[in-house]
Amino acid sequence: MQPAQPAYFDADFEFSELEVDGCDFLSTLNVQVSSSTTNSLSSSASPPPGPAWTKFHSDHSSAKFFRPKRYLPQSFSAAIDHLCGLSASPVILEVGSGAGAALFPLLKSLPASTSAVAIDIAPTAIDLLRSQPKFDASLIAAHVCDICVDDLPTPPNTIDVAFLVFCLSAVPPSTFLSTLIKIRNVLKPDGMICFRDYGLYDMTMLRFKPFQHVVDFTFRRGDGTLSSFFELEATKALFVEAGFDLVEAKYALVKNVNKKTGQCMRRCFTSVVAKVKPPQNC
């Protein structure tokens, strides 16, 4: 018997509860919310993200720092059902795999024959991934790859489902669209993409200082890494422009309570499940 899945919540409060504080925060930056806001940071305005993320994973070289994202199979249930229903062994791609905090819980929910391609911009992250006890080199191909500039290390039309979890927020916004197009090009005609990242007005966004603001909803942390926050309508438009049909797109609104302090933390994540748009008949 399979163990019971942990309870999954993504509608603990209304998005409107975040808007007052969020709008006040953006007004201090002279930023307005619009469905056309695309975070148009030019590549020349932002240093390459690789060195900062390599240092990040060097500084956090223990896998215990990265908590397993066990909620993802439930968050992406439509894609998991698609993979489990395939007649052939599924093949998945994770972009920005880090140490495997998302990859291993996903693989646990899939058929044992599932293989994975895992990429990360940081060599230290790939080294850490390969060192995990759950890492099986016969099923997981791990590569150092900068999605902003490199081709993906897998041929076109070979991936059933791609996962992009807290990765797009870490690259220059000018590469958002090209990143999604690269992923679409390696998906099979019936392939899907699953996206989860920081949503507009998430509590971590409101903690940034004005001097850390880069452009629109993008900020730079003290360690040099970028952090973008995704407005839902603009994100939906981005996926459509990249050649996807939306299956599900929403804010996942989660209330966490610190057991020691009792502090309530309201988290907002943008979640998208989409499938490759069929070619249009002429």
51-97 confidence digits (pLDDT tens)? 655 666 555 565 555 688 999 999 999 999 999 999 999 999 999 99
Residue 70 counted as domain residue:
yes
What CATH number has the domain bearing residue 162? 3.40.50.150
Distance CA 154, CA 113 (A): 18
pLDDT in tens, 22-62: 999 999 998 877 644 454 544 445 566 666 556 665 555 65
Domain assignment of residue 25, yes or no: no
- Whether 27 is in a domain gets the answer no
- CA 264/CA 163 separation, integer angstroms: 29
Buried b (16+ CB within 10 A) or exposed e, 244-280: beebebbbbbbeeeeeeeeeeebbbbbbbbbbbeeee
Range of the domain at 149: 49-199+226-253+270-276
Domain membership of residue 11 (yes or no) is no
Strands 140-144 and 115-120, by their bridges, are parallel
* DSSP string of 168-194, one letter each residue: GGGS-GGGHHHHHHHHHHHEEEEEEEE
Inside any domain, residue 5: no
Asked if residue 30 belongs to a domain, the reply is no
Residue 63 belongs to some domain of the structure: yes
22 found inside a domain = no
Cα separations in angstroms, 37 against 7, 26, 79, 280: 34, 13, 28, 28
3-state secondary structure of 137: coil
Q: For the chain, what is the domain count?
A: 1
pTM for the model stands at 0.90
Read off the tokens for 43: 């590549």
